[in-house]
Chains A and B, each alone.
Chain A
Amino acid sequence: MGMNVKLAPSRRLAGISAIGALALTLAACGGSTPEGDATTSGAEGTELSGSIAGSGASSQENAVNGWLAGFTEANPGVDASYDPTGSGTGREQFLNGTVLFAGSDAAMDSEELAAGVERCFGGEVIELPLYISPIAVIYNLPGVDAEHVNMTQQTIAGIFAGEITNWNDAAIAESNPDVELPDMPIIPVNRSDDSGTTENFTEYLSAVAPDVWTYEAAGTWPIEGTQSGAQTSGVLEVINGAEGTIGYADASRAGELGTVAVGVGEEFVPFSPEAAAQIIDVSPAAADATDLRLTIDLARDTTESGTYPIVLVSYSIACSVYETEEDAANVAAYLSYVASPEAQDRAAQPDVAGSAPISDDLRTRVQAALDQITVAG
């Protein structure tokens, strides 16, 4: 009885939203059927309309929520959404036409790129590094009042490989002459689920200290018997749960915890958006990068002064050719907005995503790539 009464108004509203749902269905169908009886409403004037759906990396979620809010504010006619399904699923859904764009912590491999040609109606896949997020190495040492504990690359690798087991170890003390470190066992903490954060962190460890960290870069932590937590919040719960813990997490979530200044060359660099953005500029383009695929080979072992090397780069993936005018216009508009200083600064706010804004140079190249988005036919 009670349920019926509750559902009654919903049925009325369902009628109102049916028009919107219809538009959504049409747009979704348009992606996969060649003749695509797409709506003509998008053609009128410069006002954007229709819907744009994306899915993929959950690392981008907070930033994308901010971007979607800003984009919808400027283009109220567009129904934009992002589904944080994970990078792999995002790429899969992009390639099979479920979504118009994807977010991914890893660039596509050659097989996926080949599949992308068909999905993009003969065009190419566009990959843009629009989300650059520093990963902080965080610790819980209430007794230590230094702003940062300094650690060399070897030390960080040693701690996470389980070779350095006490906070008063000579390797740590050497880098921190002014800090009194407690005699306390180190409890390394990692992510228990698959994540781009882990992948980037292990990639960093294996790049800078291959003789200490003998594992390959992977999305899942390779060592067993460790403390770990699911998702960033899980890692933070563990680190907050006991003294002497050390772990890695998205820098915007570090909060009150201490963060490690990472050894780069001769100096120690604490994380900051600027230092993290700099790694993009000192890193070379990936071997298969093009004007459309701005993929980067991160120089984890850089010695460039003031560069913070532990970052996660998450790509926005789109097509150079879309089936309908509407799709092409919406995707180009959305990604242009994401690359804009306004959107990048919004995501950079510590309470949004704490990411590092992209440089102007990168923005120019991103815009050049976006300008090539066209309609099939």
Chain B
Amino acid sequence: MAVIAPPVPVRRTRRLPSWAPWAVLVGSLVLAALIQFLGEGPTISGVFFIGAIIFTIAITVTSRTVEGERLSKDRLATTLVTLAFLLALIPLVSLVWTVLSDGITRFGPSFLSTDMVGVFGNMVEGGAFHAIIGTLYVTGIASIISIPLGIFCAIYLVEYGKGRLAKAITVLVDVMTGIPSIVAGLFAFTLFLILFGPAYKAAIIGGIALAVLMTPVVVRSVEEMLRLVPNELREAAYALGVPKWLTIVKVVLRTAIAGITTGVMIAIARVIGETAPLLITVGIAQNVNWDAFDGRIATLPVYVYRQYAQGGPSADRAWAGALTLIIIVMLLNLVARLVSRYFSPEGAR
């Protein structure tokens, strides 16, 4: 690593023709199918896995004999990276497909606009309106608390922080990103139990739990984005006599706004699907609760779990609820992208 070998211009070495990897790929898959035939007969997954292994070996060996060591390493890396991607794509795509295909049976305007009051047994009516409202409430409360807190904390760390305090905060924010969601739930549960007694149930408890989870994620992503703002920009602003705080607001934050928005969206995405802390703090309700400070409230993840646990036609509602949740996240994401595009200074990537 330390010393880079004197570069040999790549173009001078012999290279494989561009069709060669594809030929090797087809050959590997055929060979994999043949091997499977000797066993119990080919399956799609079997051909894929064995074919992938054969291809990796074959392309590396071919490339090494024709193109030499450096290029063969490059091909091996390309193959492994692509394979990792494909391998991860399979479960993820199957997951999305399952949610889509199972969710679509019950998903629709009536699902989005009704709650679960009076729904029992095999009734196929009922929906997730109350849970959507609940999720927006709980996530909204968490966002109201953690987005400003997180951004200011990041500003402190990047622009002001020096010495032990800043170091301690950096380390502890990192540690905080690792707080398990159920611990945050237990914290909110005990906090309100001690302050307000056992009878108090409200959306705010879940919001606090999620805020604990969300804040460090906001801090970390905003911090990283602020650090990417070149110091030249700050110095230029100071040189023009702009006070530090205005520099931060108008130069640093604006330059980083796209990254910050994405970071905040990732943070929201991280908490919006949390089930466990909400399960033990806000529980579930059958009807819409418009009051964030009083009474149980339904949230989409908990709704999905409870509906799944009930079985029967409720399972369809569970999948439709999951689909709704993904759509909400998608919309938030879209908004974030628009916002960041609108605010981004020209020329940023």
Contacts and interface: CB of A to CB of B under 8 A. Distances in A.
Interface string A12-51: 0110011001001100100010000000000000000000
A352 B295 contact: no
A81 interface: yes
B121 interface: yes
A66 B120 contact: yes
B291 A81 contact: no
B339 interface: yes
Given A21-B291, A24-B295, A72-B118, A96 B198 contact: yes
Given A7-B136, A13-B290, A28-B199, A232 B311 contact: yes
Contact of B136 (A3, A65, A73): A3
A83 B199 CA distance: 13
Contact of A352 (B118, B120, B335): B120
B117 interface: yes
Contacts of A232: 309, 311
Contact of B121 (A14, A25, A62, A73): A62
Nearest to A15: B290
B332 A6 contact: no
Interface string A61-86: 11001101100110000000101110
A323 B220 CA distance: 53
Interface in A221-253: 231-233, 236, 253
A175 B312 CA distance: 33
A93 interface: yes
Given A72-B117, A231-B309, A98 B136 contact: no
Contacts of B311: 232-233, 236, 253
Given A2-B332, A10-B290, A81-B286, A98 B198 contact: yes
Given A21-B295, A236-B311, A10 B199 contact: no
Contacts of B284: 83-84
A344 B140 CA distance: 42
B199 A62 contact: no
A65 B287 CA distance: 12
B187 interface: no
Interface in A343-374: 349, 351-353
A291 B286 CA distance: 34
B310 A14 contact: no
Contacts of B288: 17
Interface residues of B, number: 32
B118 A351 contact: no
Contacts of B285: 81, 83
Contacts of B122: 351-352
A73 B286 contact: no
A81 B287 contact: yes
A232 B284 CA distance: 18
A215 B308 CA distance: 32
B228 to A, nearest CB: 25
B286 A14 contact: no
Contacts of A62: 120-121, 310
B290 A14 contact: yes
A7 B135 CA distance: 12
Given A2-B331, A6-B136, A21 B290 contact: yes
Contacts of B339: 1
Nearest to A63: B120
Contacts of B233: none
Interface in B250-291: 283-288, 290-291
B198 A2 contact: no
Contact of B118 (A2, A69, A85, A353): A69
Contacts of A32: 199
A306 interface: no
A165 B290 CA distance: 55
A13 B115 CA distance: 15
B198 A93 contact: yes
A14 B289 CA distance: 9
A128 B112 CA distance: 38
Contact of A69 (B119, B295, B309): B119
Interface string B287-312: 11011001110000000000011111
Interface in B187-225: 197-199
B61 interface: no
B229 interface: no
B53 interface: no
B97 to A, nearest CB: 20
A1 B197 CA distance: 36
B290 A66 contact: no
B71 interface: no
A2 B330 CA distance: 12
Given A65-B120, A81-B286, A349-B121, A93 B199 contact: yes
Interface in B98-152: 117-122, 133, 136, 140
Contacts of A97: 199
A98 B309 contact: no
A304 interface: no
A150 to B, nearest CB: 27
B290 A352 contact: no
B254 to A, nearest CB: 17
A69 B120 contact: yes
B118 A68 contact: yes
Nearest to A234: B309
A350 B197 CA distance: 40
Contacts of B197: 96
A92 interface: yes
Contacts of B335: 1-3
Given A96-B198, A232-B309, 13 more contacts: A1-B339, A3-B335, A6-B136, A61-B310, A65-B286, A66-B120, A68-B286, A69-B117, A83-B283, A85-B283, A236-B311, A352-B121, A353-B121
9 contacts: A2-B331, A3-B332, A65-B120, A83-B285, A233-B311, A349-B121, A351-B121, A351-B122, A353-B121
The 9 closest A-B pairs by CB, nearest first: A65-B120, A352-B121, A351-B122, A66-B120, A2-B335, A98-B199, A69-B118, A14-B290, A231-B309
Interface of A: 1-3, 6-7, 10, 13-14, 17-18, 21, 24-25, 28, 32, 61-62, 65-66, 68-69, 72-73, 81, 83-85, 92-93, 96-98, 231-233, 236, 253, 349, 351-353
